[in-house]
Amino acid sequence: MYGIKEAAAALINAEVTARQLVDDCLARIEDPTGEGARAFLIVYGDAVRAQADAVDQARAAGHSLPPFAGVPISIKDLFDIAGEVTTAGSHVLDDQPAAVRDAPVMARLKQAGFIFLGKTNMTEFAYSGLGLNTHYPPPLNPYDRQSERIPGGSTSGGAVSVADGMALATIGTDTGGSCRIPAAFCGIVGFKSTTWRIPRDGVIPLSKTLDSVGPLAASVACCAVLDDVMSGGAGEDVEAFPALGLRLGVLRNYVTENTDQAVGEAVDQALVRLSKKGVQLTPLTIEELERLPVINHNGGYVGAEAYAWHRDLLESRGGYYDPWVYARFEAGKAQSAADFICLAEERAELIDQIHCQTRHFDAVIMPSVAIIPPTLEELKDAEVANATNRLVLRNTAIGNFLDRPVISLPCHEPGQAPVGVMLMGESGDDRRLLAIARGLEDTIQLDQQKIFNREGSSWEPLLP
């Protein structure tokens, strides 16, 4: 499977046609033995083939085309596309009018030449990090499919579409980890942007304070290109920062509690490899993070803002909600105006306090998710599902609360359970963080031909 830049170059050099790329993706989506029927809610099929043919004909005729004309990607079912009802993985909005225009971020991607294969499955209204949806069965995780493990959410279908080669990349949203959790669980790269960098008009909100738009793909380069397009650029990659001398703060408290052994070992080994490459690793304890559960005990921004958006729908269309999601929305009404004001004040204070502790580092590194993907069977009990959801979201939600760019990279050994490690930068330094991730990507993502050992490493294990 091509990366985005490689696909664009191959198309320009006539090494492949847009129709070939689209047909390959559609064949994987339509494979009855695969996960396409669960990964996608809508597949554009013949319309996509026609778009690809039009691109090929225009290119053959020598017409000037956008840089990524003919590159097929998938999009989450949260983004407005003109002429379609945006349903957010739910039946609640089935009676709503079709969108009049594309969401601005979708318009930018179309202008750059990307072809949308279809809209992908997701947690209903993006309100969970597990990827479960009672309306639409979730696609199974690419790892250990026999055990029926979850894909992570809420960008569940998008992550599986990339991991299974059904799309070259996907566009998701991230309110508490919805790009990075499924990326970590599915063994790909997921990027959460600083909130204000990419427009969110025409995107059904979960929390207008915390929502962000981001890409999921097989590489940092693919994410960097998509990030540039969505933030108003021409689709530029970033130049990799050299690893030697980079300073990373390694979070040791809060984010490492209740961590699976497989996760701890994979992250430790990634840190060993980084140390061998000359990265300066400094243990970092940020006591203020322990306040996050207390600050958000009433549901935080998501609880209040999600309830405000859904309040009328909960009354008029309540029977169409997943009961588990409905209960979570209803819980948001308990938060008072005073609670919300205090939340905003505490958030601002925490942002300042943590910035003072991290600003001397090039980035902060931590496990993306504390556990490997659990099975559907394990989550049938509602209490277990709620507890697992909180644990899965714990680490990723830090970046949203602090409004920082964060990227998740796979760090597990090939063939083992998928594990992600996150790099978190300072607010607004998205392109710099992507450049840092670009420089560390090959070291973090374990090369099967290069197995490092701990001998001679100056790094101590992250976990006891």
pLDDT digits (tens, 9 = 90+) for 347-356: 999 999 999 9
Provide the token pair at 268.
Answer: 């430790």
Q: Which of 383, 370, 350, 417 is nearest to 147 (CA)?
A: 417
Predicted confidence band at 458 (pLDDT cuts at 50, 70, 90)?
Answer: very low
Dump strand ranges (E) for 325-419: 363-367, 406-410
Residue 459 has what pLDDT? 46
C-alpha of 385 from chain center: 20
Position 206 pLDDT exceeds 50:
yes
If one counts every other C-beta atom within 10 angstroms of the C-beta of residue 208, the result is 14
Predicted confidence band at 1 (pLDDT cuts at 50, 70, 90)?
Answer: confident
pLDDT digits (tens, 9 = 90+) for 434-454: 999 999 999 999 753 333 232
Residues in a beta bridge with 72: 115
Residue 446 has what pLDDT? 73
Q: Taking a C-beta distance cutoff of 8 angstroms, is the pair 389, 369 a contact?
A: no
Q: Taking a C-beta distance cutoff of 8 angstroms, is the pair 211, 198 a contact?
A: no
Give percent of the chain with pLDDT exceeding 90.
95
Mean pLDDT within 5-20: 98
The rounded mean pLDDT for the chain is 95
Mean pLDDT within 165-173: 98
Position 12 pLDDT exceeds 80:
yes
pLDDT digits (tens, 9 = 90+) for 377-424: 999 999 999 999 999 999 999 999 999 999 999 999 999 999 999 999
pLDDT digits (tens, 9 = 90+) for 213-256: 999 999 999 999 999 999 999 999 999 999 999 999 999 999 99
Residue 447 has what pLDDT? 53
Q: Which of 118, 111, 121 is nearest to 228 (CA)?
A: 111
Mean pLDDT within 101-128: 98
Mean pLDDT within 99-121: 98
Position 461 pLDDT exceeds 70:
no
Alpha-carbon gap, residue 247 to 364, rounded angstroms: 9
Active-site amino acid positions: 76, 154, 178
Residues in a beta bridge with 43: 118
Position 171 pLDDT exceeds 60:
yes
35 DSSP 8-state letter: S
Provide the token pair at 38.
Answer: 């669960």
112's CB contacts (< 8 A; 6+ apart) are 66, 67, 68, 229, 234, 235
Mind listing the domains of the chain with CATH numbers?
Answer: 4-295+334-444 (3.90.1300.10)
Dump strand ranges (E) for 285-415: 363-367, 406-410
Mean pLDDT within 43-69: 98
- Give Rg (Cα) of the chain: 21
Position 14 pLDDT exceeds 90:
yes
Q: Which of 19, 20, 81 is nearest to 55 (CA)?
A: 19
Dump strand ranges (E) for 269-397: 280-284, 363-367
